[in-house]
A and B are shown apart, each in its own frame.
Chain A
Amino acid sequence: MSSPPSHTGLFDVAIIGGGMVGSAIGYGCAERGARVAVLDEGDVALRAARGNFGLVWSQSKGDGMPAYAAWTRQSVALWPALAERASALAGRDVQYRAVGGLTFCLDEAEYAARAHFVQRMHNQGQQGLVMLDRRQLQDLMPGCPLGPAVRGASYQPADGHVDPLTLLRGLQAGMRAAGGVHLPGAAVEAIDPIAGGYRLRRADGSEVSAQRVVIAAGVLTTKLAQMVGLDVPVRPVRGQNIVTERLAPILPLPASAIRQTGDGTVQIGVTSEDDGSFATGTTVDALSRMAGRALRVLPVLAQARMVRGWAALRPMTPDGFPAYAESTTHPGAFVATCHSGVTLAAVHAGPLAGAILTGALPEHARDLHPDRFVGMTDVSSH
């Protein structure tokens, strides 16, 4: 930017966090005419968005939490329209492809367990999710060089994938195009109530005031939420990723832990390391286990070069499901946290943003209040 953005006056909404969740909400609020500031730590932030696998995914979401399953399906339904807008705003295709998604099963036990899971999801309202045996998989992806270990997969035709980096760029561009300002470079250290809103004090000494505040700070949510009287326990769960060199098309459908991007790289994921550490390094052990499983799906990848491995931290609540709330002690102060910022981007930029401006959270988000964590120990495994 040629001149520093104005910090003066009272913004309608200040969003703490410029990652996938904060940017989606910021874009949605700005698009609805609100004067928005997105406060962001900048490049030092521990962004889950960096580790996002790029799946727009319903098939594994919400077992035991119907509100989350429904919220996810609502977002998947809104995704085509978001993708079109985000591509226009980013100035390039976000590469959203709702071609269906797979979860590969590499032996009989995995297949049986997945079939049982699919049945359970059906009983909770998931439609379209089916099990495919090996032959059906080959019919779905003719020519795909599946390894002999592949027994089958679960298949959800509504699932798909997207380039998360271009999506983030589109959301932030949309927020700015609608008059919002992005203020990177300093963490928020205090949230003080003032007449008609809140004043946010930042590490660089600057202050931003807004009528409403949304805490979308990922793994750093807990401390900020406490400042507005909300107890939202969030811990970091590390996910390691691998990308290969760009390859000719070999895997037409994205799958859990392996997808070929629109640019041709194969992305291989992803660990779920729940050790409480904020470290973002990779380990040879984890990368080799991930690569080993990918090779059982597509043995031909043995010839592919790995270009990069990296880790990112995903925010995880005690039960693994998202949390949304407006504070009762601090009206106009909201929190939003989840570990599926890409899949949920469409509801975050849509109904959630609208609700933050009017004050009443939408139906499914209301059912994901962090009050449910009281007395809960960490139980999530996803």
Chain B
Amino acid sequence: MFRRTEPTDCTITWEGRTLPARTGESLAAALLAAGITAFRETPVSGSPRGPLCLMGACFDCLVEVEGAQNMQACLVPVSPGLRVAMQRGARDFVEDAA
């Protein structure tokens, strides 16, 4: 669906899989470039969702980054080795507190 215009220079992990990425690009861009379109499952119906606005407004690109839930993938810059997972349902921030 998307074609990279710049080369990749690192890798990140998505749900345990290794994906190519470019340092400093948005995490949402890296995931989309790797063919990932379902970033999260909604708290209301559990249906899959992916980025819509790519500018911080829509909250449809929420993922878990290094264990932190409900992170907006479009606002997180890629760093080498970043561990990312799908945001499944609502953020359970009571457990997050640990």
Contacts and interface: CB of A to CB of B under 8 A. Distances in A.
Interface of A: 145, 245-250, 262-264, 300, 303-305, 307
Nearest to A299: B97
Contacts of A262: 44
Contact of B91 (A145, A247, A263): A247
Contacts of A245: 59, 70, 91
B90 A300 contact: no
Interface in B70-98: 70, 89-94, 96-97
Interface residues of B, number: 12
Contacts of B89: 248
A1 B19 CA distance: 46
A247 B97 contact: no
B91 to A, nearest CB: 5
A106 to B, nearest CB: 21
Q: Identify whether the interface residues of A are mostly helix, strand, loop, or mixed.
A: loop
B59 A247 contact: no
B59 to A, nearest CB: 7
B35 interface: no
Interface of B: 43-44, 59, 70, 89-94, 96-97
B90 A248 contact: yes
Contact of A264 (B43, B94, B96, B97): B43
Given A246-B43, A247-B90, A304-B93, 10 more contacts: A145-B94, A247-B93, A248-B90, A249-B90, A263-B44, A264-B90, A303-B93, A303-B96, A303-B97, A304-B91
B58 to A, nearest CB: 11
Q: Identify whether the interface residues of B are mostly helix, strand, loop, or mixed.
A: loop
Q: Which 3 A-B pairs have the closest CB atoms?
A: A248-B92, A264-B90, A248-B90
B91 A246 contact: yes
B19 to A, nearest CB: 25
A245 B62 CA distance: 10
Contact of B90 (A145, A246, A303, A305): A246
Contacts of A263: 43-44
B47 to A, nearest CB: 13
Nearest to A301: B93
Nearest to B89: A248
A249 B90 CA distance: 8
B94 A248 contact: yes
B94 A250 contact: yes
Given A246-B43, A307-B59, A300 B70 contact: no
Contacts of B91: 245-248, 304
Contacts of B92: 247-248
Contacts of B96: 303
Contacts of A145: 94
Contacts of A247: 90-93
27 contacts: A145-B94, A245-B59, A245-B70, A245-B91, A246-B70, A246-B91, A247-B90, A247-B91, A247-B92, A248-B43, A248-B90, A248-B91, A248-B92, A248-B93, A249-B90, A250-B94, A262-B44, A263-B43, A263-B44, A264-B43, A264-B90, A300-B93, A300-B97, A303-B93, A303-B96, A303-B97, A304-B91
B49 to A, nearest CB: 12
A307 B94 CA distance: 18
A128 B55 CA distance: 49
Contact of B94 (A246, A300, A305): A300
Contacts of B97: 300, 303
Nearest to B68: A303
A351 B78 CA distance: 60
A262 B44 CA distance: 8
A94 to B, nearest CB: 14
A335 B91 CA distance: 45
A147 to B, nearest CB: 14
